[in-house]
């Protein structure tokens, strides 16, 4: 076990007595951030027993940094008797409060078998995986460790952990990343999907559509996009609409295509809105309705920028579903441009 280095920030050593007294007053009145400051102050004076006292008070009051420092003190026997169980307890509490030092220290103890089973949880394993995957506050990014913790979270029943474990094996991010392994990717995405994770279902749909590590099978693509859409994955809904519109893996059904493009558009998926607009414009699977076409083209344009605005521009040019006048749409984007939206500014210039 690598010694967990105390990450104690050195406060200004020449705090005057009045300021220290003020910290005590604030701490006594329930300001737990000031209790934490006192913990640092006494730690720097090497009065570790008092430091532990105030870090404890800070931690009890919800200060996650105090919990992490207290864990370090129990781990390194500073002012308290060495106690790995308590160290793990306080690191876990710090991690639950969003403290990355607590998460990484808990992770180190976990990897080395110094954490009792009572502190094992899928939420904790997933959180530590995220810390290693992204790296933050001095914690070095480590994809191999991230994969290890996501796998643990998955095995503990975390659907999101399964999805993230699948991601870790789907591509090589650096020299120390886990080796790309599509059999593991399929395994983890399948577990994620079966547990209700829409992103896992969506990725399986893509893999069966492209024949990546599995035999290309459009009927399975429809199956997994359906599950993804039902779980709230907007791109899954949009892609499912495409499958029904073009009759891939299922019978062509414009009404179902409209249904799934609508679900996608309702969650601001620009492709779903754009295709939905075209179906109302052309009367595919629904009654031809230019005003609705304009509505959905506008939504697609709002969500994506001018690259998906050409159809809306043509509707205004022809006066279909709206007045043959760009002043209304220009006023719409000008208003949002003045409110600080760079996208709206670009769209205003596009329609100008």
Q: Average pLDDT of the chain?
A: 87
Give the homologous superfamily in CATH for domain 1-98: Tetratricopeptide repeat domain (1.25.40.10)
- Residue 94 falls in which region: left (phi positive, over 0), alpha (psi -120 to 50) or beta: alpha
Q: What is the mean pLDDT of residues 75-98?
A: 90
Residues 109-115: contacts with CB under 8 Å, at least 24 apart: 109/1, 109/4, 109/75, 109/84, 110/149, 111/145, 111/148, 112/1, 114/1, 114/84, 114/88, 115/84, 115/88
Q: Which of 30-44, 61-75, 296-310 is predicted least confidently?
A: 296-310
Most confident residue range from 256-260, 317-321, 323-327: 256-260
- Give pLDDT, residue 10: 39
**Beta carbons of 66 and 55 less than 8 angstroms apart:** yes
Query: Domain boundaries in the chain?
Result: 1-98
Q: What is the pLDDT of residues 263-319, one digit of tens each?
A: 999 998 999 999 999 999 999 999 999 999 999 999 998 887 666 788 888 888 888
Of 2-6, 58-62, 114-118, 258-262, minimum mean pLDDT range: 2-6
- Short-list 339, 350, 247, 338, CA closest to 304: 350
Q: What percent of the chain has pLDDT over 90?
A: 55
Q: Which of 23-37, 146-160, 327-341 has the weakest average pLDDT?
A: 327-341
pLDDT at 126 over 60: yes
Report how far residue 179's alpha carbon sits from residue 186's, in angstroms, rounded to the nearest whole number. Answer: 14
pTM: 0.70
Q: For the segment 195-204, what is each residue's pLDDT rounded down to a tens digit?
A: 999 999 999 9
**pLDDT for residue 15:** 44
Could you give the percent of the chain with pLDDT greater than 70? 89
Output the pLDDT for position 173.
66
* pLDDT tens for each residue of 136-185: 656 788 899 899 989 989 998 999 999 999 999 997 766 667 888 999 99
Q: Which two tokens stand for residue 155?
A: 């095995």
- Measured in whole angstroms, how far is the alpha carbon of residue 270 from the centre of its chain? 20
Q: What proportions of the chain, in percent to the nearest 5, are helix, strand and coil? A: 70, 0, 30
More confident residue, 75 or 302: 75
What local confidence, expressed as pLDDT, does residue 127 receive?
A: 80
């Amino acid at each position: 076990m690598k010694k967990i280095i105390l990450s104690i920030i050195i406060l200004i050593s020449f705090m005057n007595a009045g300021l220290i007294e003020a910290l005590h007053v604030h701490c006594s009145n329930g300001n737990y951030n000031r209790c934490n400051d006192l913990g640092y102050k006494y730690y720097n004076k090497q009065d570790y027993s008092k430091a532990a006292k105030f870090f404890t008070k800070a931690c009890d009051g919800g200060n996650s940094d105090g919990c992490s420092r207290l864990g370090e003190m129990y781990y390194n026997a500073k002012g308290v008797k060495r106690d790995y169980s308590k160290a793990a307890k306080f690191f876990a509490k710090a991690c639950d409060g969003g403290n990355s030092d607590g998460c990484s220290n808990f992770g180190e103890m976990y990897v080395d078998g110094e954490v009792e089973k009572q502190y094992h949880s899928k939420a904790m394993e997933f959180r530590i995986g995220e810390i290693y995957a992204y790296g933050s506050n001095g914690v070095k990014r480590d994809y191999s460790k991230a994969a290890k913790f996501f796998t643990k979270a998955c095995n503990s029943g975390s659907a999101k952990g399964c999805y993230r474990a699948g991601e870790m094996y789907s591509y090589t991010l650096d020299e120390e990343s886990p080796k790309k392994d599509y059999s593991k990717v399929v395994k983890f995405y399948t577990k994620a999907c079966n547990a209700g994770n829409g992103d896992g279902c969506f990725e399986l749909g893509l893999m069966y559509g492209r024949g990546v590590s599995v035999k290309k099978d459009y009927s399975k693509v429809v199956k997994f996009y359906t599950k993804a859409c039902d779980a709230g994955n907007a791109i899954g809904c949009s892609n499912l609409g495409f499958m029904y519109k073009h009759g891939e893996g299922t019978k062509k059904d414009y009404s179902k295509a409209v249904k799934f493009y609508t679900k996608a558009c309702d969650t601001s998926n620009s492709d779903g809105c754009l295709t939905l607009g075209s179906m109302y414009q052309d009367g595919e699977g629904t009654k031809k309705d230019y005003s609705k076409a304009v509505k959905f083209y506008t939504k697609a344009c709002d969500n994506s920028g001018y690259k998906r605005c050409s159809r809306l521009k043509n509707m205004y040019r022809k006066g279909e579903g709206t007045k043959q006048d760009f002043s209304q749409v220009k006023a719409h984007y000008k208003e949002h441009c003045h409110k600080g939206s760079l996208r709206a500014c670009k769209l205003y210039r596009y329609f100008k």
